[in-house]
Every structure is written in C-alpha cells, then in structure tokens.
Amino acid sequence: MTETVTTDYFFDEKAFDKQDGAYIPLRVADAPEKPLNVPPLLKPDKETKDDVYYTVTAQAGETQILPGAKTKTWGYNNSILGKTIVYPAGKHIHVTLQNHLPELTTFHWHGLLVTGPYVDGGCHAPVYPGEAKQIDFTLNQPAATTWLHAHPCPSTAEQVWHGLATMVLVTDKHSSELNIPNNYGVDDIPVVLQDRIFHENNQLDYHADYNPDGVTGPTAMINGTVNPYFDVTTQKLRLRLLDGANRREWRLHLSDDLQFTQIAGDESLLPHPIKMTHLMITCAERQEIVIDFEGYHEGDEVTLFSDDTPLLKFRIHKFAKDDSVIPEDLFTVKAPTVDPQTPVRKVVMSGMDEGVEIDGKKFQIQRIDATQPVGKAQYWDIVNSNDPKQGMVHPFHMHGTEFLVISRNGHEPYPNEHGFKDTVGVNPGETVRILVRFDLPGLYMYHCHILEHEDGGMMAQIQAYEPDKPMPKYKLMDMETLMNAFAKERGIKPEDLWMAGMDSYKKLGMKM
C-alpha cells in the first residue's frame, strides 16, 4: 500500500496573502545568524498535589534583535514574547496577572477552555498599570499547544506587535506516554512565527506601519530571533509551530523537500499522523510536526522555508539512531451529538480593509450578538463572503471552546483538520461547517484573527448560558472608559488618541 504524502498547501492559492496589493515579501535580514531563542519554562511559584501557582508579568524591556541598538519591546516575564508556561490538565491553577507596562492590557488565554469574559482575558478584563489580579481555573481538555496574548480592543494588534505573546502548553498523561518527542528544549521546540518592520535605530513604529488589512514586515522573527539556527542533537525533532503574526500566512517546507509528519493541531493531537512536504499555517493556528533527520550526518544543514525565504536552519550534530515509530493512533475524537432539531448558526465574515464586519455589523463592546446553551452542540456555518478571485483568507477564531471542522463547501475538511481546533482559515467564497459546544458558561468573543481585522470590527460576542439558571449579567467594559484610560496613560487628550481600528469606524461614520 502506497503511503499518502500531502505535497500542497491545501488553501486556495488565489487567496494567499502574497496576492495583496500591499503585500510585503520576506527577505533575509542583514544580520549574523544566531542560535534560536528557546524560551525557558516559567517556574511555578508553588505547587501541591492538586494546585499550582504562577505569576505572569507583562513588562517592558529592550531586546537585542538586530546588530546595533536594542529594540524596545514588551513581553511576559521577559523582554519579548515570554517564558513558556506549562499547565497540567486536571490541576487547579492559580495565576497572578501583573501589569508592569505603561498602559492597560489584558491576558487572553488563546485555546484554554476557561470561563469568559474575565478569566478568558478578552477586552472586558483589563489589568491597569501597576495592578495585579488573581484568576484561577481547572483545565478539562486534552494536551495542546495554546498561547497567551494581549487582547485589549482596539489595541490587540499593536500590543502583540510590541511582543506580548507566548506559548502555553497543556499537558496530560496520554500525550506524555506516546512515542513522540517530548523533551522540551532538546527534541520538543516551540517555534513562534512572526514578522516585523524595523525603523531607525532598530525600533518598532506600529502607527507608521499600520494597514487595516493587517500589518506585515519584511523581516522574519522566530521566537524573537532573526536569522536563527538550531543545533540538532536527536534524530527526531518536534516543532510546535504557532503563527503569532498579525497578518502573515506561512507556507512552510524544508530543503530537499524533506518529508515531515504532522501530529497535532490547535487543541489536540490528530487522530492519525499526516505525512506532508508542505504546510500552510494561518494567523493564530498551531501545528505540531515531527521531522526525522535519518540519512543526514554531522555537519549537514536542513532549512525551514516560507515560500522561498529561509526562516530557520537546523545544524545537524551527531545523534543516536532512533528507530521509534510514531503511533498510527494518536487521539480518539469524541464528537458531541447534535439534536436534529437544532438550527445551524450562520456567521458571515465580510469585507476587507476598513469595511470588515461579521454578519453585516462591526463589533460593539457591550453588544451580545448570540446565545447558546451550555452543553448543547450546534453546527456553525462560517462564511467568507469575499470575492473568490480577489478576496483573502480569514482565520476564524472562537474563545472559550474547541470545535471540530466538519466540511468545506460540503466536502471533507483538509487532512490535518480532524482534531479539535479553535481557529480555522476560511477561503474567500467558502463555507466551513464546524461543530461547536460550550461546556462553561460565560461571554466569549469570536472573530477574524488577522489582528487588524478584529481591532477594525470583524468580531462579535456570544453568551453561553445554563438553561436551568437565570441568565447572568456581566460587567462589561465600555469604549469611553477604555479610550479615556489609554489617553490618560499616554499623557494625551482623548480626542488626540489614535488606536488600531479607529479609522475603520470613522471612515464608515461610526463610533467604536
């Protein structure tokens, strides 16, 4: 029987971001190669049999990214990005959220199944400068690569551009016992894919670079490293890939067309491993792959590319022979059952540039757009109404839950979409059906994860409620309070405030 190997990027090539008129191609930076920054693990403050305690601090700093002046950046417990956080499923987790930045921020746990709107950390959960807040939760979800990023509407894009993003690994017994690489920092490596524009003295200037369809830059930055290499000391290497960019899609392949194996997506392992040579990852998605360097020898080099641009070089060192085989059965997907009487919810992502909307409306911070009972599964049809000939891929993300991709335009989803996900790229003119169930009550956002699109209004809110209890009312942030706070922290008048997304509303004669 011939083994199936995927050799394309799945997505509609006419919709790739490089077709945009404002597309900025990647180019190799004029900088020396450096070892890939592999973030250290964040150490718990305290741990008991049932509980674990962490402190996560958003802070400003300076980072040596390019030769010359250091770049002013933000990070979590670090000057840029952050230390990798590990949350064991089943334990009760306590987190102190500290803000040492000059302005308010939020801590959004992208991919964690936690209650919203306060623990989830969307724009209703501000932490002000000098403030600390406490949250706690118990995770009931499979092992996954998730992440933490800022989400203070409408400044999500700018704060992530400054560096506020880091990986969060959920671990469980099943995953740790599988025959796959899991020695963090040795054969299990986080790879955060981002791009930036560097201005005079290597500084970032988000306002100058703003594009309502998404900010991109010519310089690839991998884990905050430009022109990185990684010293390979094992035959097999697991990469936890995260598209942490504001806008850019990454079309990944290895030199020599070396095959690799995808073992996981956003929210779980895949049911079965998928062999491939090409992989496209859209904004906020996570894809875990295993590379087998059998046949390579000490002194060889293998390069990870996006299109034709090298991103990360693997320098091969001597390694022990590894004849282990990735299990054919990795994960059992237990799909929730849908009552045939339950209507299909339709969500339409429309527009580009300043005209982006969901269901014909721009986001309003205190408007609840939909409701769904906790525990009740429902099909959602996610529609990208962009013109198939000149539209763009919109990555659709949901807070507070995981979903299964059921179909694309009535056909089978892509081969690597059969595990649980929280983000799915939708081609222009396409309808993607997903199966959604909320297990925790709360208020949650759903939106396009091109960060400038969500800041510009391509976002909505759903309340998951317990049918046998009164519908709770949440204390929601209002835009006037938010804008006044940002203006005060920046030392300007509210009428002089500029934030990403504001132009999208003003050009349509709307208030945020």
Task: Note the pLDDT tens digit of each residue in 451-484.
Answer: 999 999 999 999 999 999 999 999 999 999 999 9
Which residue, among 128, 83, 81, 135, has the nearest Cα to 112 in the 3D structure? 135
Alpha-carbon gap, residue 60 to 75, rounded angstroms: 7
Average pLDDT for 438-457: 97
Q: What is the mean pLDDT of residues 271-276?
A: 97
- Is pLDDT at 129 greater than 90 in this prediction? yes
User: Parallel, antiparallel, or unpaired: how do β-strands 301-306 and 309-316 relate?
Assistant: antiparallel
Q: For the sheet containing 250-254, what is the strand order? A: 34-35, 228-232, 309-316, 301-306, 250-254, 278-281
pLDDT at 502: 85
What is residue 2's predicted lDDT score, i.e. its pLDDT? 52
DSSP, collapsed to helix, strand or coil, labels residue 490 as: helix
List the strands of the sheet with 286-292, edge to edge: 219-222, 188-196, 236-243, 286-292, 260-264, 269-276
Write the DSSP symbol of residue 91.
S
Q: Where are the domains of the chain?
A: 13-28+179-316, 34-171
Q: 3-class DSSP state for residue 184? A: strand
- Has residue 198 got a pLDDT over 90? yes
Query: Strand 144-149 vs strand 165-171: parallel, antiparallel, or unpaired?
Result: antiparallel
Measuring CA to CA, which residue among 190, 285, 172, 246 is closest to residue 456? 246
8 A C-beta contact, residue 275 and residue 292: no
Sheet strands (E) in 12-91: 34-35, 46-47, 51-63, 71-76, 81-82, 85-88
Are 13-28+179-316 and 34-171 the same fold in CATH? Answer: yes
- Which CATH code fits 34-171? 2.60.40.420
The b-or-e profile of 201-215 (16+ CB within 10 A means b, else e) is ebebebeebbbbbbb
Give the containing element (helix H, strand E) for 481: helix 479-490
Q: Which two tokens stand for residue 76?
A: 């979590």
For residues 234 and 282, the answer to whether their CB atoms sit within 8 Å is no
Pinpoint the alpha helices (H) of 315-445. none
Tokens matching residue 130: 């000098």
Q: Are 419 and 264 in contact (CB under 8 A)?
A: yes
For residue 436, give the H/E element and its range: strand 431-436
Rounded to whole angstroms, what are the CA distances from 216 to 14, 34, 265, 313?
A: 19, 22, 24, 22
Beta-bridge partner residues of 54: 95
Choices 2.60.40.420, 2.30.30.40, 2.60.40.10, 1.10.620.20: CATH for 13-28+179-316: 2.60.40.420
Whether 503 has a pLDDT exceeding 90, the answer reads no
- Weakest mean pLDDT among 150-159, 187-196, 456-465, 492-501: 492-501
Asked if residue 343 has pLDDT above 90, the reply is yes
Mean pLDDT confidence for 225-245: 98
The residue type at 98: Q
Question: Which residue in the block uniquely carries the two structure tokens 């132009």?
Answer: 503
Query: Does the pLDDT at position 504 exceed 90?
Result: no
Q: Which residues contact 134 (CB under 8 A, 6 or more apart)?
A: 94, 95, 96, 97
> Which residues 6+ apart lie within 8 Å of 442 measured at CB?
115, 116, 117, 120, 400, 463, 464
Place of tokens 């529609």: 383
Whether the pLDDT of residue 353 is over 80: the answer is: yes
> Of 505, 460, 509, 486, nearest to 122 (Cα)?
460
Q: Above 50 in pLDDT, residue 298? A: yes
Structure tokens at 276: 């491939």
Minimal CA–CA distance to 193: which of 227, 235, 241?
Answer: 241
**Rounded to an integer, what distance in angstroms lies between the CA atom of residue 26 and that of residue 34?**
18
Residue 387 sits at φ, ψ, to 5 deg, of -60, 125
Strands 403-408 and 92-100, bridge-based pairing: unpaired
190 has a pLDDT exceeding 90: yes
User: How far is C-alpha 382 from the chain's CA centre?
Assistant: 19
pLDDT tens readout for residues 366-392: 999 999 999 999 999 999 999 999 999
Is this prediction's pTM over 0.95?
yes
Q: Rounded mean pLDDT of 302-310?
A: 98
Look at the chain and count its residues. 512
Whether 1 shows a pLDDT value over 50: the answer reads: no
Mean predicted confidence (pLDDT) in 169-182? 96
Q: What is the pLDDT at residue 512?
A: 81
